Amino acid sequence: MNTPDQLSRLNNYFSFIFISALDIRQSPRLSSRTMKNEIKSFANVANFLPGQWVFTPTVYENGISSDSADLTRTDGLTFHLSINHYLSKGKMAISLNPPRHKGQFVSLWNDAPATGQTVVPSIKVSETKTCEQIAADIARRLLPDAETYFARVSKLIAGYETHENGKEATMKEVCALAGVAVPTDHYSKATRFNVSIGDFGALGYGEIKVESADSISLELRSMSKEHALKVLAMLADMGALKKGA
């Protein structure tokens, strides 16, 4: 059984713990360390940017993120916003989310010597700024470089798509002559744009490779003399026609 003196000491101890807990809860410094902003509180940034923008929190398999979101303009230009990162406490990281070609980033590193622009444009702003102030920072510090980068990548992607669409069309012509189905392997260009000479009958061995809309490589091996002479005669005729032109 506790003596009165022991009870008094216990009471003083628990009183100290209770008062300390109140001090921690009410301390502005400690509370500011533990409180976290949520990305949705910055949704109004979209309303202060020039043009039409949509604010979309990042969605993961386990739910909606409270730390990241995208700002997307009607033409597809997108900024990625991220907060509460342990390396950037109190700062919001905002970067261009570049267009992708078939899920892959398109690099502009090869053009860097000419433009001096070698990295994806990005900035950091204080999380304590208002949505209007953050929008102003984006418009002044980030948007000009981002639009240049976005335009260049979009142009590259358009060129890639034109090139690949041309190859697809030529591949269909080749396969139609051979009477075979067009390859559908999109992961291996070597498979996707190649046809075996064997598909054309008992001509021998080799391969037809579609290099572009207007260029095809032919490799012929182990052909019979009869077939080889016919092919050579055809090539000679085509060469004569080209000389006459």
- Is 15 a residue whose pLDDT tops 80? no
Task: Give 13's pLDDT tier (boundaries 50, 70, 90).
Answer: very low
Q: Which CATH architecture has domain 39-159?
A: 2-Layer Sandwich (3.30)
Name the more confident of 182 and 150. 150
Q: Provide mean pLDDT across the span 129-146.
A: 96
Q: Provide mean pLDDT across the span 179-193.
A: 64
Q: Provide mean pLDDT across the span 88-100.
A: 90
Q: Where are the domains of the chain?
A: 39-159, 183-244
Task: Give 219's pLDDT tier (boundaries 50, 70, 90).
Answer: confident
Q: What is the pTM of this model?
A: 0.67
Q: Which of 56, 93, 92 is nearest to 73 (CA)?
A: 56
Distance of CA 146 to the CA centre of its chain: 14
Compute the distance between CA of residue 123 and CA of residue 145 in angstroms, rounded to an integer. Answer: 11
Query: How does the average pLDDT of the chain come out, rounded?
Result: 78
How confident is the model at residue 125, as a pLDDT? 96
How confident is the model at residue 116, as a pLDDT? 54
How confident is the model at residue 94, as a pLDDT? 96
